[in-house]
Amino acid sequence: MSSTQGSDEGGAPEQLAFIRETVRRAKPRTWHGAKRAEHLPVARVVVDKGVLTIDKFFDYEVPAAMAEEAQPGVRVRVRFGARVVKGQREGGELHDGFIVARLEKSDFAGPLAPLAQVLSPEPVLTPQLLRLCRTVADRYAGTLADVLQLAVPPRHAKAEAEDSPPPLPRPDAPAPGGWSRYPAGPEFLGSLAAGGAPRAVWTALPGPGWPYEIARAVAATLASGRGALVVVPDGRSVARVDRALTELLGEGRHAVLAADLGPRERYRRWLTVSRGSVRAAVGTRAAMFAPVHDLGLLVVWSDGDSSHSDPRAPHPHVREVALLRAAEEGAAVLVGGHVVTVEGAQLVRTGWARALTADRETVRRTAPRVRTVTDQDQHRDAAAQAARLPSIAWEAAREGLAAGGPVLIQVPRRGYVPRLACGRCRTPARCRRCEGPLEAAGADAPLHCGWCGEDERDWHCPECGSFRLRAQVVGDRRTAEELGKAFPRVTVRTSGRDAVLATVPDEPALVISTPGAEPVVDGGGGYAAALLLDGWALLSRPDLRSGEEALRLWLAAAALVRSAGEGGTVVVVAEPTARPVQALVRWDPLGHAGLELDERAQLHFPPVARMASVTGSPAAVADLLNLVRLPQDADVLGPVPVAALRGEEQERALLRVPPGQGAALAAALKAAQIARIALRTPEAVKVRIDPTDIG
């Protein structure tokens, strides 16, 4: 008897588990023969099936039992690919989707399949969000379903069952605070508080104040009764803006949307925004679609950071989504950073936005002193042989440590290896036909262009005439070892890909960091000095944005250093005559962006022109190029070989069109992709509109 009882006790959990698994796998019933809803019996659905050939809406019949819950914006399950049997649609695969409208009748003449299930009565796809996703999909030659996967997070039933708190009353308009350092700052803040929609490209002053200035802009928008959305490139920046908003507004007025929260907590916070419990949100790239009610302000911080470009199809960029959304919803825009991108300069030049900058006297008062050392000086300097530091940099580090503060040392990681550059002056080796980067397959292989594929058999540096080429860089770990020997008994900390430090104590130490991973000094005191090593490695990257990116990374590090009046010094090891180095010395990112924009206009490069990249196997790329019907005056650069994917040969072509034809280019590429699918072409081709890295 006891053995039988033991068997029964052990079997109960087994049976419960079997029942749970059966319930979990049970498919929703098909409502054939069920009574049809009397009012608005047709549901128009976007099916979550990201295939170009079905990038459209489909109509389904609404059973009467679902009539109340099946409202526009809710998640549903539908059968896709059903066949007609005896006047009814049967079979088909189950797919998730969203109802976008309820209609009296359908344009489709045949019988409609009924909705299979309403997954949740929560309306998560608002009309504004649907329009934005459709616009983004068209701009980037993608599907609405793909964009919806980026815009609407996965459902979490437990989070959805929780009630969201009631919204707090609007706060008072804040004082200008740090915005008073900018001549147009108080006016910008006042316009937000009055319900206006100003558009600005903001060149932030050095120092730790930018999160608090963003917080004041958000507070002014909330004071007008509207919502605000802030998108920053990384979690550390999210934490800084979150802390500033909490200090200024208190708890409960904003939501943090970060990927590391976990699915339940992130969805719970997303629902507080969707339900209107909070009117402000801050987060990384995925937050760009957050459904903030009555959106009045969009803030994009450091829009040149590559993290703002989504790696998932159709690869939208946060800045471009913000501009599209602002135009759609009539919101203000604040695109800011320590550096101004070429796209930001174009917004100012066309008059779409105003430049929000401080006067030169304020810049000089807040910025550190910047000194330059050439790479050749470093090699000739005997003091540099022991620790890779020329005498000027070594003295700056020693004085900074003696002053009681940490010293920041920025070292490009090995991922920043350029293809080829002049061995004497570090000028990038570029093609004489299209200005693309030159590269070589091996030590004895001839040079060829990475864009158009043309061979270059007689290259010499246009700046100094040298025939020597160079491509090498020393990593941060070796630098830490060498500096540890040069500065014994001094703490050495590293911050990089393996372990990124958020903060460091305000005490003497050497902080060695890769670009973009620089920690903030506790208490806002700032570094006593910063040494920016191997500048040529950043400047010589084989990319159209190498100069802009180098200046962005240098200014981000230099902005953490104390002002010149407090003894702050920045030493950059790079060619002093290089344009980004001069912009760093003068602390003039807007002027640098303007010159870059002039060059892009002469060469017909983005953002003045629009561009798309097409990547795949040689046969697939050739097939798509034969099918695509490009707009008039379009250029095709390449195709040229690129890095192999899983051992398979890959090629890339760049397609360029004049201004105003970007939409036509995206439509042509989308049509060509649809044609390839219809012809059952097996090999896929990756299409990317406005690629951030074009070599």
Work out the number of other CB atoms within 10 angstroms of the CB of residue 433: 13
- 123 to each of 76, 270, 275, 596, how far by Cα in Å? 11, 12, 9, 45
Calpha distance 560→206 (Å, rounded): 7
* Per-residue tokens: 123: 């309306």
Q: What share of the chain is helix, strand, coil (3-state, %, to 5)?
A: 35, 25, 40
Nearest to 174 by CA among 225, 240, 223: 223
Calpha distance 93→246 (Å, rounded): 47
- 493 sits in the region (left: phi over 0; alpha: psi -120 to 50; else beta) called beta
Nearest to 413 by CA among 498, 328, 522, 340: 498
No. of H helices and E strands in the chain?
21, 31
Provide the 8-state DSSP code for 179: G
Calpha distance 147→313 (Å, rounded): 8
* Side-chain half-sphere CA neighbours of 44 within 13 A: 12
* Side-chain half-sphere CA neighbours of 10 within 13 A: 6
Across-strand partners of 78?
95
- 249 to each of 170, 241, 338, 630, how far by Cα in Å? 10, 12, 25, 52
Q: Where is the binding site for Zn(2+), in residues?
A: 422, 425, 431, 434, 449, 452, 461, 464
Residue type, 142: G
SS3 for 37? Answer: coil
First to last CA, the chain: 78
Taking a C-beta distance cutoff of 8 angstroms, is the pair 335, 322 a contact? Answer: yes
Buried b (16+ CB within 10 A) or exposed e, 226-259: bbbbbbbbbbbbbbbbbebbeebbeeebbbbbbe
Residue type, 646: R
Residues ≥6 apart with Cβ < 8 Å to 229: 280, 281, 282, 287, 288, 290, 292, 295, 297, 298, 299
Q: Where is the binding site, in residues?
A: 422, 425, 431, 434, 449, 452, 461, 464
SS3 for 217? Answer: helix
Nearest to 522 by CA among 544, 549, 495, 502: 502
Helix extents (H) in 224-373: 235-249, 263-274, 318-329, 342-349, 360-366
